[in-house]
Amino acid sequence: MKLIENPRDVWRHFSTWALLGATLLQGGWLLMPEVLRADLPAHTGQWIEWAVLFITTWGAGGKFVEQPGVKS
């Protein structure tokens, strides 16, 4: 395993933003009290799961895309 040359560039990577978004979405759902979850539509939890799957897949794909301002 080799680390990137400039760790400050990590915030410019699409995959970083995708993983951060998925973490915030899933973490927010898990930290939400059951009382608040009960007021949401029945399939919200499934929607969250599919959204996290989509976001992380998009982030993995971002590893293969040339990104402006990011040195390889």
pLDDT exceeds 70 at position 72: no
Q: Would 17 be classed as within a structural domain?
A: yes
What one-letter code names the amino acid at 56? Answer: T
Instruction: Flag whether 21 is in a domain.
Output: yes
Per-residue model confidence as pLDDT tens digits over 22-60: 999 999 999 999 999 999 999 999 999 999 999 999 999
Query: For residue 71, what are its two tokens?
Result: 């040195």
Residue 55 lies in a domain: yes
- Position 70, amino acid: V
For residue 3, tell me if it sits in a domain: no
In a domain, 72, yes or no: no
Residue 70 lies in a domain: no
What b-and-e string marks burial along 6-22, b requiring 16 or more CB atoms within 10 Å of the CB?
A: eeeeeeebbbeebbebb
- pLDDT value at residue 62: 84
Classify residue 69 as left (phi > 0), alpha (psi -120 to 50) or beta.
Answer: left
Residue 8: the pLDDT is 82
Report how far residue 30's alpha carbon sits from residue 49's, in angstroms, rounded to the nearest whole number. Answer: 11
Which pTM does this prediction carry? Answer: 0.78
Position 8 in a domain: no
Number of domains in the chain: 1
**Residues 60-71, mean pLDDT to the nearest whole number:** 79
Tokens of 9: 């560039």
Range of the domain at 20: 13-31+43-62
